[in-house]
């Protein structure tokens, strides 16, 4: 666990150094914590989505049961991280955006809002679905999470549909988000994507 | 046509005896009772009820040691929450419900314990295997009914329920909890 204060201090120090070295090029990037959370969640969501999309069609087997467990653990981790990320975001303002047309700015804000909403709702609905099907979530095989609703077959049937629809919406919004980042990087040639890649900065 | 009155009366009496006799024999009220299996997969406790069972418990609080219990559970009625999984456990490697349609418990000895408690020893038959089990049971009398509650732990492997390939995922120990209303 990164100590937030230390990370913030490190981020501030980095920005200060970069600014002194080359004040015209340097722009404040995201904090290391924000960057770490961003890419960790990107990796987890890719894994969780791929697992989810494959496991559902598997024939019943011990492997299928295991994959369901992993999928749930990933989902709960994403939920925990998104909450942490929201707290971080509230305490640290993101770096100023690169100059871009107003519509792009609005689109970016909308997409980011949608991403946060989907990153929160998809695992929550998944958890609800698990509870409604009578299968509690036992995080990392160690901690049994409380059931959000009691067993209800009719509700479970609806929730699984909603969970899938949200996951697929998240998939398309992530694709749009990535496409926009690449467009900024390769076409507009601005620092939008670089702000999220700490390792490329000196 | 001339009816034979004595014969008719005798017939009616016979039917009446059957009806009242049947009514006086206690039978499990399946709609109010439950038999729930709790198993653990990947350490997740899952409750699965048997939807179909019947039986009877002859229990007289004045002579608890003379009590008798017989229960018969339809193995195909285990509800795992989704038809896909429920159908899976009816297969040969699990309950083999086509060959072994029912699982039974027949008591052999009842040992009264503290007030409202007794130990029921009996023979459990499941998938062609038998095991003598002793189940602590608590009894509570309601206005018109009697409730029997208890639970026991069984081993899947003993009865050959489930492929060994599942052993890493599903615990061998399975709990069976019952609430029988008569």
User: pLDDT tens digit string along B17-36?
Assistant: 444 444 445 689 999 999 99
Number of helices (H) and strands (E), helices first, in chain A?
5, 2
* Per-residue tokens: A49: 């989505």
3-state secondary structure B118-148: EEEEEEEEECCEEEEEEEEEEEEECCCCEEE
- The number of folded domains in chain A is 1
> What's the domain range around A66?
32-200
**Does A21 map to a domain?**
no
A101 falls within a domain: yes
User: Tokens 């069976």 — which residue?
Assistant: B176
Per-residue pLDDT at A19: 40
Mean pLDDT of chain A: 87
Q: B169 to chain A: which residues are within 8 Å by CB?
A: 62, 65-66
Residue A180 within a domain:
yes
Q: What is the SS3 assignment for B95?
A: coil
Q: pLDDT at position A16, please? A: 41
The CATH number of the domain holding residue A133 is 1.20.810
pLDDT score, position A197: 87
Tens-place pLDDT, residues A111-123: 999 999 999 999 9
Nearest 10 degrees: CA dihedral of B159, B35, B176, B108? -70
Query: Which residue, among A58, A60, A139, A157, would best test binding to B if mutated, counting the most B CBs under 10 Å from its CB?
Result: A60
pLDDT at residue A96, as a whole number? 87
What is the interface pTM, i.e. ipTM, of the complex? 0.76
The model's confidence at residue A186, banded by pLDDT at 50, 70 and 90, is very high
Percent of chain B past pLDDT 90, that is, above it, reads 74
Q: Does A71 reside within a domain?
A: yes
Q: Say if A78 falls within a structural domain.
A: yes
Of residues B43, B45, B168, nearest to A62 (C-beta): B168
What domains can be seen in chain B, in order of their start residue? 26-181 (2.40.128.110)
Across the interface, whether the CB atoms of B85 and A69 are under 8 A apart is answered no
Which residues in A lie closer than 8 A to residue B42 (C-beta atoms)? Answer: 65-66, 69, 138, 141
How far B8 CA sits from the closest chain A CA (Å)? 53
B121 CB-contact burial (10 Å; exposed 0-12 / middle 13-18 / buried 19+): middle
Lowest model confidence (mean pLDDT) among B35-39, B78-82, B119-123: B78-82
């Amino acid at each position: 666990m990164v100590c937030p204060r230390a990370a913030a201090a490190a981020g501030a120090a980095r920005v200060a150094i970069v600014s002194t070295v080359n004040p015209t090029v340097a722009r404040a990037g995201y904090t290391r914590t924000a960057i770490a959370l961003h890419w960790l969640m990107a990796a987890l969501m890719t894994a969780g989505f791929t697992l989810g999309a494959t496991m559902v069609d598997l024939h019943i087997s011990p492997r299928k049961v295991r994959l369901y467990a992993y999928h749930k653990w990933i989902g709960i981790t994403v939920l925990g991280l998104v909450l942490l990320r929201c707290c971080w975001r509230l305490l640290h303002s993101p770096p100023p955006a690169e100059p871009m047309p107003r519509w792009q700015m609005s689109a970016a804000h909308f997409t980011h809002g949608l991403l946060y909403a989907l990153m929160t709702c998809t695992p929550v609905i998944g958890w609800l679905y698990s509870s409604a099907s009578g299968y509690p979530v036992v995080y990392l095989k160690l901690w049994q999470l409380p059931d959000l609703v009691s067993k209800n077959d009719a509700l479970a049937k609806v929730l699984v549909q909603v969970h899938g629809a949200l996951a697929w919406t998240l998939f398309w919004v992530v694709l749009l988000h990535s496409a926009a980042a690449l467009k900024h990087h390769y076409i507009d040639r601005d620092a939008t994507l670089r702000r999220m890649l700490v390792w490329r900065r000196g | 046509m001339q009816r034979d009155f004595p014969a008719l009366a005798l017939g009616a009496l016979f039917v009446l005896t059957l009806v009242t006799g049947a009514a006086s024999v206690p039978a499990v009220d399946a709609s109010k009772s439950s038999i729930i299996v709790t198993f653990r997969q990947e350490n997740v406790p899952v409750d699965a009820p048997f939807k179909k069972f019947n039986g009877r418990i002859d229990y007289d609080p004045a002579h608890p040691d003379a009590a008798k219990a017989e229960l018969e559970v339809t193995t195909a009625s285990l509800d795992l929450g989704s038809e896909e999984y429920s159908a899976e456990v009816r297969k040969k490697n699990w309950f083999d419900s086509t060959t072994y349609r029912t699982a039974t418990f027949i008591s052999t000895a009842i040992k009264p314990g503290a007030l409202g408690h007794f130990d029921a020893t009996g023979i459990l038959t499941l998938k062609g295997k038998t095991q003598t089990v002793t189940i602590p049971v608590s009894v509570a009398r309601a206005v018109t009914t009697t409730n029997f509650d208890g639970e026991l732990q069984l081993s899947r492997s003993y009865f050959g329920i489930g492929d060994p390939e599942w052993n890493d995922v599903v615990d061998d120990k399975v709990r069976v909890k019952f609430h029988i209303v008569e």
